[in-house]
Every structure is written in structure tokens, then in C-alpha cells.
Structure 1
């Protein structure tokens, strides 16, 4: 029996049957660059926002174009003039009277209520990833803070009335039962908090693809006693009973390769239902599209394997590292780290380590990789378990290469949940390592939770910390050139350069690179690395390009070569992320 049939049979025995366990593909809206957030708004709110026509309407937010668009009667996306000048609108929520937009680039929530507009959370939020509202309460998931914050618009100064800590909160929703639901992508589970987020908490889920399991759950939507989960790395929408947390069913068939659609889902970012619950809109930012489904009906059975000739799977994650002849890549759907010998053409897979689980050498959420140059060793950071591990992988070049199940060995492990600074003090939060840079003597770890660069010897003995610039909002990757660090901050659309151990408070902000034709502004920089000659390389996911700068003894931002355009061929990119 096919796996899809087994899952369908299991889900039939779970949870309340009033929730739509299945859905049917209705329509696909293509060419919506960076579609990431969806919400349906009422006719009254439509009129207040100046959108022509009548009746409810679907809105789609784009992090690439910094716009919120509405879908007209011909299924064409149209810009909303009143919602101009947004900064990375990553998520939306609405009720009959108001629209809420989470602006990741500005660190705030913009609220549109009739003809009134105001903001929430400025100076408090860092990188909001989701928003939800119930009455006067507004819940915000902020993965940069590692918290879900609940604001009360009826309280003085819109006070925060509750906080919930996590590792990487990515979704929030209020249900009709008075519960707050939120997802933690790093822990692969859902949280249900009673009393509108101010009561007792229950937890549901673990990493996996079977009923009741999730892999990096993102946005949530609650309606009619059901919770709908954008199960990002399982490429599906999971449906949960709001009363019990039981898994009821799932929608969509995993798109095996990019550009598959027509009911096959690829990296869902958000889901929203219209007011009568008959149509669901699912945003897939990686595919630049929104798919519409009609809720209900029988299980939609399709093997999803029609990949076409020459199709290439794209399931390596954003974490990568290389040094010498060793290349390490993360495969996020299995949780494994795959090792390649780059002296071979093409690179040869010599070992695989990891996968999800709680035993030593298992990593539910790999957040960074590093390779010790010339030492046949590599480093893995896991944000879920709070680990920093060193492995060895010696390649015997006197013999033909082969895949060796025992070729990699765990050498050292540092439990970051017990980490202390050199003065014995405890960090405010468990370090969340999002990138690693290694030279011949030191391991530099970028701690996004505490906004530091942690410096270790190659034995994992702690040495010192270097504070990040105070105005940095989202440090995702970094490198070292000479005595300077270069940090990527996509939320601020910039690089930060400086911060050596002697002058940790001296940083300069770089918002554009320079060429003979003038400046090229950074839009959504995501990756950075340095070549052996000291040249800076920056990838920009919104531009689908990488920029190779001229080598220099200091960090140069003068472009020597522009690489890439959107596509799938050599030297073409599709939302490029990491550099190594």
C-alpha cells in the first residue's frame, strides 16, 4: 500500500471529523514574486483599503517586492497603493475591521483599521515572523527574540500582557476556544496556551512526517475548531483538532522537484481560509505562487513523482561549509549532514552523519556548519538541542573513494544549554549558533540569540565574545577578512563590517556595493563568504545574484563580477542563500 494511503487511513481515525481532512486543488496563481503571506479580508475592509470591487478578497504579501497585493477577478495580483512603503511584509492577519501586517524589515506590526493606521512593537520587536489577533489582543511570533509576545491594545501603551519563550517561533493563531497556538520551527512542534495565551501550555508534535509529526512548521491558521499548519519541510498543510491537538489529516502532495504544482505543495509558508471556510490559499514563496484549494472531499491521491526528464531535486538546505577538499551540506528533510570530497569531479559523497533524534550524533535542527581547514574535521551546530559538535572525516586517498558509513566520527561535543562566559555568568538565552567561521586557530560562532560572536579554540575551549553592532537586527551569516568580520543583516538590508577583538564596538554599515556603473543597493542579502585571496562574496536572494568583490587586504565592496540571474542552469540562481 502506498505511503499516502496509509497516512490517509491513519488520519481517518484521529481527531474531530468536522475539520476538512482533505482538500482539492482549485487554481494556481503564478508569478507572485516572493509570495509569503496570505489573508482574506471582508468587503468593508476591502473598501477601507481602497480596493475596487465588492465582496471578500484575497491579499498576498511579498517579501521580495515589499508589497501587499490583492487578487482581482481575473486572478491577477494588483498592488494596493495604501500599503506602500512596507519593509519585508512577511505575514498578515485580519478580522472584519482591521488588517495587521508583520514587517520583518522594520521590526513592527502595522495595523490598518478603517481610515486609521498605526504601528505596534517598534523598539521591542526584532524580527517578527507571524501575527494574529483576537479582540484587543495581538500575538506576535518573533524568531529573532525567540519569543511570542501578546500585546493588549486596550491596555495603557499597548502593554505586553504575556510572553512565551521558544527557540524559533514562526507561527501564531487564536482559536474560537480561547487558546493561543504557536509553532516552533526549530523544535518541530506546536504549543497551545489556554486563556488567550495567558494560561497553561500544552505541547504537540516532534520531528517527522507521520501523523502528529512536523518538520519546521511555519504559519498557523485557526477556524471552526481546527488548526491548519503550514508544515514547511513536509510540503503539506496539516490539520489539527483544536480541542485535543490530534492530527486529523493533511492536504497537498509533496512537489518532488521545483515548479511542480497543481495540488503539489513545495515549501508552504502560510495558509488562510476565506470567511465560509470553503477555499484555502497557500503561499509558496520559493515557487513565487499561491495555490487555492477547495476544502473537503476525499483524499487526493497522486504519487507526485512526475518529475520530467532532466529535473533536479533541490533539497539541500541553507547550511553549508567547505575547507580544503571537504564540503559539508545539510539535507533538511532528513536532518542529515552530507560530506563530499571536492577533489573528485563531480564531488564524491564520502560520508553522511546525523539525522533527527535525541541520541549523540543526531541533529533535529542543524543551524550551522563549519570545516576546519586542512584538518579533516567539521563542526555542526544544532539549535534544537543546543549543541556544538566537532567531527572528524579522514579520507584515505591511497584507495579508491567510496561511501563509508563509519567514515565520520564524533570527537567533541559542547552542551550550549550549560554554557557560561569566562566570568562564570550565564547568557540571557541559550546560544543559537546560526553560522560558523573557522581559521587555523579559532572557531568563531555567530550567536543570534545573544547577539554575539563567540570565539572558541579548535578544542571547543571558550575564549571570548565579540558583541554585534547594537543596530543589527538579524545576523544570519558572517565571514572574516583580515582583522574584520562581515555580517549579513537581511532585515536591515545591509552588511556590518568591523568588530575585530580589539575594537568590538567599531562597525560600519554597508547598504550598497560599488561598480563602474554606480552603486548597487542590497535588497535581501543572505549569504557572505571570503575567497582564499580575501575577496568578499555576497549573495542577494531578492536579486537572484551573487557579487564577487575585488580582493583587498581590507574588506572591499567594489564589485569585480556579478554572477547569476533567476533560473536553474549553471550560474543561475533561485533565491540564493548561503555562501561558503
Structure 2
């Protein structure tokens, strides 16, 4: 039996709204909002509450009875909370046994309540019931059908489980029992995610977020491409490292990581609205976002949850009117109102110079550190694919004695080497301090390493050079280290995935 109950509600004394709630056997199935005069629908963005003291919350899902499931990657577990933020139970823990995790990735909840978790470090997917009791696991480390190298994203519907294997740029489809069915395939490289880090299913579509390309791909449930949208940038409708997506009621919600916001599109890629103010100081919250990593929409549409591993918290947002949102939200891009960019985790120092990566602007900064306070003397790069530009630079190595600077250009799958001209005059900003010498294609490097085969390029995550100038590349995805000479020839490689001595994991 289904009946509709209408509630009149006045929001901020401005307009009267009607919330229509459908009840089936006492369970709330959906919530829709519309203005009494029909011209102003409700949208997410009204801050409700915060779940604090988490340990690197990297993923979130909302299940039946509005239970919030949060993946704590650093603690290798899943914690369950009520919609008010009260903890109900937890499961997991570090290990490779059934029911345990190693650096878990995304999480999804099936219509029947089953919980599906991408167990990244163990290269498998695990399935639990709604109370966190282990039911099944499938997958193994490898390139073959049904195997994974970096299962980061997972989605589920009534019949299938979808897995985004970021390391091999594949979207794999399994039945609910874990039997491999197929891989999403396309002959058009422009219509294929280069590094799908998240995936969502709903409303008859499957959505994949490609963090490196700053694009979102929409497939039908059988894997046929329907649409793709997004390009790197700060302005509304543009994306800067989309790391998660959700589908609900004909809309696609995207966690726009480096723009510190959630953007909402229709399935044709048209921007509908956005929410989230950039937190400029640590621990700022109450609606302000700081590098959102994941989001989820409650099945009844009554609230949304956003994870921020940088702040070790999840924020819960309710519904509001566009007029209320307009009072709070400033659509100007970061930097246009005096904000400053955030530096990455990679810093290198040699002699009097310090180099660091500024991922928000896809740039590299060089400081003179002879003075009591470091002084910026050079900045170069910017987002793009042309030589000398970057797409998410991730690590850097500076050699002032050799006048050389080496940068991992992760999004463009290459390493760029620059000549470094040391300051010879009084301290000042030097616009021509670096000059591109060469770019090293990581695909060609990977093909030199027999253990990678033809199907996988090297995924450089860290670099360094020794006193002889040899370049050491750490590939955390393939669990190996490659050694290159000055001509970009691989002279040695070592390591492999595993727990035995001499092998590496993460």
C-alpha cells in the first residue's frame, strides 16, 4: 500500500513549501521538494552536522534505514553511523583474511542492503550483509578478466557489481555472485576513462569519474557510452580532479576535489547547481569543504554525506532553496577572492633551493631558502598537455649542482626534465629560470620492463636521483622500482607484488 502525505513547511519565513513523502508499509521511499508556487525546487547544501574523529575517510555510502557507511582507509575498516552521526557498529581491520581489508577504496550498498567494498590493497572485492557480516569475496591480482591491479571504485545495482580498476583503466562487470561477465569497451580513446577512480550506478546508467582527465563518463547499464563531460578548470561546470560520483533522481553528483565543492549535473552534463565553500583554515567546517573525497545520497533523497579525508570527517547536508543557497555560496573560483593555493605533499631541497608541487594550479614553485624565510623566485607549468605544462604533477627532484629539475607529470603519463639556471644576481624573481630539456613517456618505459608486459604502462608515484644521476622511479601500483640512465633506458628493475621478502605492497 502506498499513500502520499503532504507537509507544509516555511523555510526562513520566505516561502511555503510542500514536501511530498511516499510511504510503503511505514518506510520512507522518496522525498521530493517543490515550492508552493512551483518555481523553486529544493536542493542539497544546507549544513546539518559533522561526524568527526575519523581515520582518513575515503568513501561513503548510505543504505537502508539511512545507515551511513564510512570507509576509513588508514584504519582498514568500515564504520556504520545513523543519519544523526551516532555510531552503530564497525567491521574489518587490517589483514588479508576474509572480512579484513588492506587500504580499502570505495563502497556501495545494493538495493537489498548488501554492502560491497573495493579492497584495493588485497586486489579483490568483498561483499557483506547490512550488519557487516562477511558473505563473499572475488577477484585477484592480475590483468586477466576478473582480476585487478587497483580496484578503487565499486558500484552495485539489483543484478550486477561494477568495479573501476584504475591501474588498468578498465570497468569490469560481475554478477551479484562475483562471476565475471564483461568489461566496458570502446574503440574511441577519447570516450574511455584513462584512470577511473570512482563509479556509480543508478537510474539505468553507470557513471565513472576520471580524476586525471577531469572528466565524467556516462554509460548505459550494458556499457554503451551515452555521454561524457567536463574539462579542467575552476569555474562552475568545470572540474579539477573529480574523485567520486553519485546518481540520484536523474542527476549526477560529482565530488570536485581540488575545487572544494560538489557539483550537480543532469545526465546530459548540464550544470544544475553546486554547493560547498572552500575551507581556508584547517578544521573549518559547518558547510565548508576541504578536498572532498567522496559523497553519497540517501536512498530517500533526504540528505547527502561528503567525506573529507584531509580533515578526517564527514559532513551531512540537507535540503534548502536556491534562494537560501545564494546567500551563502560564492561562485567565484578559488584565487579570485584572495584565496591561496594548497601545496602538495612532495618537497625536495638541494643546496639553497627548495622545489615543491602546487597541485591546485598544476605548477612547480622554486624558493630560495638562504634567507630566514623562503622567498619565491620562480613558478612554472600550468594545466595542459603541451611540453612544459602539467596535469597533476605528483613528485619532484631538484639537483642544483647538476642544474636539473625532474617532475612526474602524472596526468600526462610522463616525466619532464628541465634545465635549471641558478641565480647569479641579487635575489629576485626569475621568470626564465627553467627550460624543458626532454619528456620521458612512461608508456615506453613500461614496455622496457618485461614484467609489465604490453598491457600496462609504468605508473610513477615517486622519483629520486642518486649521486651518479640515475633516476629511480617508484611504481606503487605495480609494486616495483625502475632505474633509468640519462637516455631514459631502463638499466634495472626490482620488486613485485606480494608479501614475501623482496616483494612490496603499497
With the length of structure 1 as denominator, give the TM-score of the two structures: 0.69
Contact 2:357-2:394 at 8 Å conserved across structures: no
Equivalent in the alignment of 1:566: none
Which residue of structure 1 lines up, in the alignment, with residue 47 of structure 2?
25
Task: Tell me the residue number matched to 1:482.
Answer: none
User: Structure 1's 88 and 442: CA in aligned 2 closer, same or farther, altered over 3 A?
Assistant: closer
Give 2:348's match in structure 1, choosing from 321, 326, 329. Answer: 321
Corresponding residue of 1:544: none
Question: Does residue 62 in structure 1 map to residue 77 in structure 2?
Answer: no
Quote the residue 2:321 is aligned against: 297
Q: Which residue of 2 aligns with 1:341?
A: 368
Q: Secondary structure at the match of 1:105?
A: helix
Compute the displacement of 1:416 (Å): 3.9
Distance 1:21 1:72 in 2: 22
Measured after TM superposition, the shift of residue 197 of structure 1 is 4.6
The Cα of 1:187 is off from its aligned counterpart by 1.2
Pairing 1:474-485 to 2, within 5 Å after superposition: none
Q: C-alpha displacement at 1:272, in angstroms?
A: 1.0
Q: Aligned equivalents of 1:423 and 1:224: distance in 2?
A: 47
Q: Report the equivalent of 1:144.
A: 167
Checking the alignment, whether the CA contact within 8 Å between 2:485 and 2:491 is kept in structure 1 is no
Quote the residue 2:140 is aligned against.
Answer: 122
State the Cα deviation string for residues 275-301 of structure 1 (Å, max 9, x = none).
221200111111111111113412244
Alignment match, 1:226 = 251
3-state SS of paired residue (2:372): coil
Number of the residue aligned with 1:475? none
Task: Give 1:182 shift.
Answer: 0.4
Residue of structure 2 equivalent to 1:5: none
- Note if 1:95 corresponds to 2:99: no
Deviations 1:59-113 (A, max 9, x none): 2221222232222476333433588744333321113321112222322221124
Which range moves more in the overlay, 179-188 or 421-430?
421-430
Give the match's secondary structure for 1:429.
coil
Distance (Å, rounded) in 2 between the aligned partners of 1:257 and 1:394: 35
Distance 1:111 1:418, change over 3 A: same
Q: Which residue is equivalent to 2:273?
A: 249
Unaligned stretches of 5+ residues in structure 1 = 1-16, 43-54, 306-311, 473-495, 497-505, 512-524, 526-580
- Alignment of 1:158 with 2:158, yes or no, is no
> Cα deviation per residue 1:225-278 (whole Å; 9 max; x = unaligned)?
111111111111111111x12222211111112211111111111111112212
Distance 1:74 1:211 in 2: 31
Cα distance between partner residues in 2 of 1:380 and 1:339: 13
Partner of 2:224: 199
Assess if the C-alpha contact under 8 Å between 1:419 and 1:426 holds in 2.
no
- 2-side partners of 1:22 and 1:246: how far apart? 17
CA distance in 2, matches of 1:184, 1:220: 10
Cα distance in 1 between the residues matched to 2:455 and 2:104? 29
Equivalent pairs counted in the alignment come to 438
Give the 3 Å change call, closer, same or farther, for CA 20–377 of structure 1 in structure 2.
farther
Q: Which residue of 2 aligns with 1:507?
A: 502
Give the match for residue 303 of structure 2: 279
Q: How does 1:71-470 map to 2 (within 5 A)?
A: 71-72=81-82, 75-80=85-90, 85-97=100-112, 98-113=114-129, 117-123=135-141, 124-153=147-176, 158-163=179-184, 166-176=193-203, 178-194=204-220, 196-200=221-225, 202-242=227-267, 244-298=268-322, 299-302=325-328, 315-372=342-399, 374-397=401-424, 399-417=425-443, 421=447, 427-439=454-466, 440-448=468-476, 452-458=480-486, 460-470=487-497
Q: Deviations over 1:339-391 (max 9, x none)?
A: 12233332221111101023321112213322235112101121222222111
Between 380-389 and 295-304, the greater mean CA deviation after superposition: 295-304
CA RMSD, 1 decimal: 3.1
Question: Which residue of 36, 58, 76 maps to 2:58?
Answer: 36
Report the equivalent of 1:573: none
Quickly say closer, same or farther: Cα 1:19–1:103, change in 2 above 3 A.
farther
Deviation at 1:449, TM superposition (A): 5.8
Residue number in structure 2 paired with 1:49: none
Q: Indicate if the aligned counterparts of 1:150 and 1:162 stay in contact, CA closer than 8 A.
A: yes
Deviation at 1:221, TM superposition (A): 0.8
Q: For residues 215 and 94 of structure 1, what CA distance do their matches in structure 2 show? A: 27
Alpha carbons of structure 1 residues 508 and 129: separation in structure 2 relative to 1, 3 Å: closer
Mark the runs of 5 or more structure 2 residues left unpaired by the alignment: 1-38, 94-98, 142-146, 186-191, 333-338
SS in 1 for 2:258: helix
CA displacement, residues 392-428 of structure 1 (integer Å, 9 cap, x when unaligned): 222224x321122222221222344555756999843
Cα distance per residue 1:470-516 (max 9 Å; x no partner): 327xxxxxxxxxxxxxxxxxxxxxxx9xxxxxxxxx7266x9xxxxx
